[in-house]
């Protein structure tokens, strides 16, 4: 299955470790996550490598294997740095395995990568994605390691730890001769089907005897005859580590398919192998084995997922279940509840902080920061709602706190400082345990807490995820689709040295320790950089000295770039830290410094709330990346008082007034200007500013959309409303109509007015008279203007007789001057799909209604022979009715005609064969062109097929005349040669052409033979030929 993936082929050696390799791997944008609370590292799944990860974790948590591998130094294995030297002998697989084990033990990352190890195997990305069997991998990996370690002190590593011997014996019943055969093993394979558990399977293999008797006799070599005998097997040599593979996968010979055995199969945590051994004289302890790893398979026989349960023999991990963590949290909550009364009283807390200060006075902002550091909660979050601001609280207790004259610094009065120290001393005498707790916390403690319960614990290592489990959870893997697949036992006599307990650095070579230390330092550096990048925010500081206030907003005196200072700061820092950083940047600042949130608006920069509460974090007060902060004295800018807050936001309105009619282009027929006012401005004030001479104001109720058409009038009773309350926002349009413009507005009973924003024009050309009278006019219209109104206006502008109103219609004129289909008069400009500025023709004739179709038609597809004609029909008319109307108008008669559509080549195309169907049902649309074609359509189920004959070139003229009957197309087959029936193969008749012979009507279900007979017979009869 694995081919030569473990062979030592130095052509594919990878030396890719921490930037020293042949291939440069892409750097991750973020460093890997650190280990979780278990302090154990998982292994990344490269895609189907879960079986490899489970086996590698088992080998890692076999300390004797791990330490034997670490004992092989560079003098025996070489180094990865020498792997590219041509004469160097470097043993890649054990070196990469050493590095991987060192990473799993020491590198502070959630999961290690096996990519370098699999590259040393020679795996391709395709090989990584394949799902393999972990039992087979175990054997091949051991074989590869043995091959790689030949000639080193570790040449017998695998045999020393995993090698055992099974002896098979056959005993003759007559002469008692014993015939035996030894078998070496690195793992035992035991049956699962029909067996209750591991002990029963071992009993069947190594205790039960098989008998040769009756018809099944054994030929004894000593007796030289067939005799009765017994056959048995025993374990002759037990390895320190016993690997057992369970035969979960079997083959069903009835169904001819593989299946997974999911029945219950038990196995013990401890097992005594004495009953299964050949030699049983030793003490029972020599035969005791303890389970330390269970590789589990989840899925079916054709695929699935592996993970492993492992006993942490050296206690390297931190084992603590979730329920125990919940218990600790509850215990902490109880302690917090007991101390709640003390923390609820801010007086005692503040007195305690000030009593520890050596300085006479500290800033009030610093006191708030110390409160946050000591109690983990800010004043504003814990006490402000009940006790008010910190500074005011201190002022309300003058008998305890001493404030400086400016109120910025505070200290504890001497009498209260002395009383607090005496009280604290008395409490310490009464509760020495608390004092001990403080001293213990100051001692150097291990980096990870260790569970107090004795003994080794179990973990579930599932690729990158590691979590603690209980020993009883192993029982869940006795049966089911997720069940045990490989068992690993270790001799109970194997004891670990005390110095190995909880020490992941034990027996790791110095060069790997240095490499891991350097890698951890680099990881910490990258995490710090990443943490700083993720939590750093860029703030834009606007200095009041660079701004002036006019037209309702702040505007920079200089350029925007010169008026703004950028500052990057950690979002977890406090507002006090920000204030201190700003003060250091602006050393020349004099007077009060107030920081206010600012926001650039279309009108300019506007100020909002003042930032207060120096003990609060920047993230807590809502400062986001890119926030704007205005630095000023809190009152005025450049001598002008500045109103702040959302209630004084400036609004930019787009003010429109009707302009004189513009004759050129589509254009906007409005004069536009901008007006800035506060959102709290009343409509009365806005009316006075915009229309002092009187008039009305209309608001575009559809917003700032230039295509909007809904306007509403502000009435007298609306004048007390504010700009914000009536929904006017930045960019909203208001229309000011003076007294002479109000004729455009249709005011009905004081209701809302309909007014269209997009006023433009259409051109109308007169086609009702002679060519000398074809003049045109421009008609003002909107997209909602009805076509009947446009026609009336055009007739008046052209000074035509009003009688034309009932006998004329409007037809769009194409770019090449062709009159298109008339537009129904009840259509609007928008419904007629007309663009503003389009040219319309005023023509005689009634316009079709919305239920009628205007169609073009011609007789035959040749326009030079038949002019294009026009007709109006109901869309519910049938094809036959439409054909009759067209025949009548073109002066034709008879029933030997049918209708066809015009195709994209402007030739007769698809036939309208369903003569009883309506034009609407066949999707015939207004403006379509139809062709009246001679000839009846074949009946349903029949076809009309043109017949062509190959003729000598002498008849070419006749053929061309025949071809002209079909759309004027001449068919030629210049390269076609046909052999005569009686002539030899080399005889040919060049110069044959196609000629048209006519059409035949034949059933669609007829065979090709029928077609041949029907087409050939007439030709033969006419020309005197015989078949």
Q: How far apart are CA 962 and CA 995, in angstroms?
A: 6
Q: Give me the residues paired with residue 641 across strands.
A: 636
Bin 661: left if φ > 0, else alpha if -120 < ψ < 50, else beta. Answer: beta
Contacts with 529 (C-beta within 8 Å, 6 or more apart), sequence order? none
Helices (H) then strands (E): counts for the chain: 26, 46
Tokens representing residue 816 in the block = 């090449």
CA-wise closest residue to 77 among 8, 2, 159 = 8
Catalytic-residue membership of 50 = yes
Distant-in-sequence, close-in-space partners of 47: CB < 8 Å, separation ≥ 6 = 125, 128, 129
Catalytic residue among 50, 277, 732, 809: 50
Which of helix, strand or coil describes residue 26? coil
C-alpha to C-alpha distance for 748 and 107, rounded to whole angstroms: 82
| C-beta neighbour count of 427 within 10 angstroms | 11
Is 283 exposed, middle or buried (CB count within 10 Å of its CB: 0-12, 13-18, 19+)?
exposed
- Range list of β-strands (E), 317-447: 362-363, 401-403, 409-412
Contact 595, 582 (CB under 8 A): yes
Rounded (5°) CA angle 24-26-31:
120
Report the relative pairing of strands 564-570 and 604-610 from DSSP bridges: unpaired
Answer yes or no: are the C-beta atoms of 708 and 757 closer than 8 Å: yes
- Whether 679 is catalytic: no
How many CB atoms are closer than 10 A to CB 425?
10
What's the chain's length in residues? 1027
Per residue in 734-761, is it b (16+ CB within 10 Å) or e — as a string? bbbbeeeeeeeeeeeeeeebebbbbbbb
245: Cβ contacts below 8 Å, ≥ 6 apart:
135, 187, 188, 189, 190, 485, 486
Handedness of CA 88, 94, 100, 104 (dihedral sign): negative
Cα-Cα-Cα-Cα dihedral of 702, 705, 709, 710, to 10°? 10
User: Measured between alpha carbons, how far is 53 from 58 in angstroms, rounded to an integer?
Assistant: 9
Look up tokens 């492993």; give the residue: 308
Which of 724, 722, 726 is closest to 712 using CA atoms? 726
Q: Which of 17, 155, 305, 648 is catalytic?
A: 305
Helix axes 364-375, 346-355, angle to 10 degrees: 110
| Closest to 191 in 3D by CA, of 230, 238, 244 | 244
For residue 465, which of 1016, 937, 43 has the smallest C-alpha distance? 43
Angle made by CA atoms 691, 694, 696, in degrees to the nearest 5: 75
Catalytic positions are: 50, 305
């Amino acid at each position: 299955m694995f081919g030569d993936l473990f062979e030592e082929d130095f052509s594919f050696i990878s030396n890719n470790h921490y930037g020293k390799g042949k291939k440069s791997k892409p750097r991750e944008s973020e460093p890997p996550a650190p280990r979780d609370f278990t302090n154990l590292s998982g292994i990344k799944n490269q895609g189907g490598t879960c079986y490899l990860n489970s086996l590698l974790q088992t080998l890692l948590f076999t300390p004797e294997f791990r330490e034997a591998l670490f004992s092989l130094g560079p003098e025996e294995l070489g180094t990865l740095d020498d792997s590219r030297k041509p004469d160097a002998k470097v043993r890649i697989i054990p070196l990469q395995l050493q590095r991987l084990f060192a990473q799993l033990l020491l590198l502070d990352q959630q999961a290690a990568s096996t990519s370098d190890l699999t590259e040393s195997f020679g795996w391709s990305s395709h090989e990584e994605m394949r799902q393999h069997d972990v039992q087979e991998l175990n054997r091949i990996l051991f074989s590869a390691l043995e091959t790689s370690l030949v000639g080193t002190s570790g040449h017998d590593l695998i045999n020393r730890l995993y090698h055992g011997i099974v002896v098979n014996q056959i005993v003759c019943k007559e002469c008692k001769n014993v015939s035996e055969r030894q078998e070496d093993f690195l793992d035992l394979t035991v049956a699962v089907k029909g067996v209750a558990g591991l002990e029963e399977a071992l009993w069947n293999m190594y205790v039960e005897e098989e008998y040769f008797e009756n018809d099944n006799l054994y030929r004894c070599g000593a007796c030289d005859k067939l005799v009765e005998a017994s056959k048995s097997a025993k374990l002759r040599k037990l390895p320190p580590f016993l690997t057992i593979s369970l035969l979960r996968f079997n083959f069903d010979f009835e169904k001819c398919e593989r299946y997974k055995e999911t029945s219950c199969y038990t196995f013990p945590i401890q097992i005594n192998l004495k009953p299964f051994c050949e030699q049983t004289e030793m003490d029972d302890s020599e035969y005791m084995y303890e389970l330390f790893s269970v590789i589990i398979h989840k899925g079916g026989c054709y695929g699935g997922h592996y993970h492993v349960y492992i006993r942490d023999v050296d206690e390297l991990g931190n084992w603590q279940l979730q329920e125990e963590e919940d218990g600790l949290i509850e215990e902490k909550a109880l302690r917090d509840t007991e101390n709640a009364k003390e923390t609820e009283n801010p007086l005692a807390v503040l007195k305690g902080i000030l009593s520890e200060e050596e300085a006479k006075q500290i800033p009030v902002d610093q006191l708030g920061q110390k409160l946050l550091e000591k109690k983990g909660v800010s004043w504003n979050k814990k006490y402000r709602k009940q006790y008010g601001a910190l500074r005011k609280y201190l002022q309300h207790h003058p008998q305890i706190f001493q404030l400086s004259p400016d109120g910025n610094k505070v200290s504890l009065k001497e009498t209260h400082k002395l009383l607090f120290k005496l009280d604290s001393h008395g409490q310490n005498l009464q509760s020495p345990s608390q004092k001990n707790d403080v001293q213990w916390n100051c001692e150097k403690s291990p980096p990870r807490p260790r569970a107090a319960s004795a003994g080794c614990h179990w973990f579930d290592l599932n690729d990158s995820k590691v979590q603690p489990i209980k020993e009883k959870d192993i029982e869940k893997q006795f049966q089911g689709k997720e069940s045990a697949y490989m068992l690993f036992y270790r001799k109970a006599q194997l004891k670990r040295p005390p110095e190995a307990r909880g020490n992941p650095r034990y027996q790791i070579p110095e060069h790997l320790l240095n490499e891991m230390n350097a890698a951890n330092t680099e990881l910490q550096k990258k995490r710090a950089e990443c943490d700083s990048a993720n939590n750093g925010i860029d703030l834009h500081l606007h200095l009041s000295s660079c701004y002036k206030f006019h037209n309702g907003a702040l505007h920079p005196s200089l350029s925007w770039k010169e008026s703004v200072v950028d500052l990057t700061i950690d979002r977890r820092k406090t507002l006090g830290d920000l204030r201190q950083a700003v003060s250091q940047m602006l050393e020349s600042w004099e007077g009060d410094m107030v920081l206010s949130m600012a926001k650039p608006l279309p009108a300019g920069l506007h100020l909002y709330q003042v930032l207060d509460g120096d003990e609060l974090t920047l993230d807590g007060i809502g400062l986001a990346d890119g926030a704007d902060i205005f630095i000023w004295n809190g009152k005025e800018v450049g001598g002008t008082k500045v109103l702040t807050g959302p209630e004084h936001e400036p609004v930019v309105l787009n003010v429109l007034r009707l302009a004189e009619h513009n004759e050129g282009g589509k254009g906007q027929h409005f004069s536009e200007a901008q007006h800035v006012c506060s959102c709290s401005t009343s409509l009365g004030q806005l009316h006075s500013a915009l229309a002092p001479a009187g008039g009305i104001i209309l608001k575009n109720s559809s917003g700032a959309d230039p295509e909007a058409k809904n306007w509403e009038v502000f009435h007298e009773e609306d004048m007390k409303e504010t700009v914000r309350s009536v929904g006017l926002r930045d960019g909203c349009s208001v229309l000011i109509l003076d007294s002479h413009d109000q004729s455009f507005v249709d005011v009905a009973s004081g209701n809302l007015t309909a007014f269209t924003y997009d006023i433009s024009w259409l051109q109308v050309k007169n086609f009702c008279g002679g060519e000398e009278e074809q003049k045109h006019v421009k008609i003002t219209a909107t997209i909602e203007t009805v076509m009947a109104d446009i026609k009336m206006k055009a007739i008046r502008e052209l000074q035509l007789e009003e009688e034309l109103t009932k006998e004329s219609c409007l037809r769009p004129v194409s770019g090449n001057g062709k009159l298109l289909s008339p537009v129904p008069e009840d259509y609007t400009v928008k419904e007629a799909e007309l663009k503003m500025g389009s040219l319309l023709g005023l023509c005689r004739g009634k316009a079709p209604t919305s239920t009628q179709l205007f169609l073009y038609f011609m007789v035959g597809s040749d326009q030079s022979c038949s002019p294009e004609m026009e007709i109006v029909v109901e869309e519910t008319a049938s094809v036959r009715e439409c054909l009759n109307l067209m025949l009548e108008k073109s002066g034709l008669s008879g029933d030997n005609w049918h209708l066809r559509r015009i195709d994209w080549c402007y030739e007769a195309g698809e036939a309208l064969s369903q003569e009883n169907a309506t034009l609407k049902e066949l999707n015939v649309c207004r403006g379509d062109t139809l062709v009246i074609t001679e000839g009846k359509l074949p009946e349903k189920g029949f076809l009309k097929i043109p017949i062509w004959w190959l003729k000598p070139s002498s008849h070419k003229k006749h053929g061309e005349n025949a071809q002209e009957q079909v759309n004027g197309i001449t068919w030629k087959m210049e390269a076609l040669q046909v052999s005569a029936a009686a002539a030899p193969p080399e005889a040919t008749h060049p110069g044959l052409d196609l000629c048209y012979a006519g059409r035949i009507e034949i059933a669609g279900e007829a065979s090709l033979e029928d077609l041949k007979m029907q087409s050939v017979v007439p030709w033969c009869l006419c020309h005197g030929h015989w078949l």
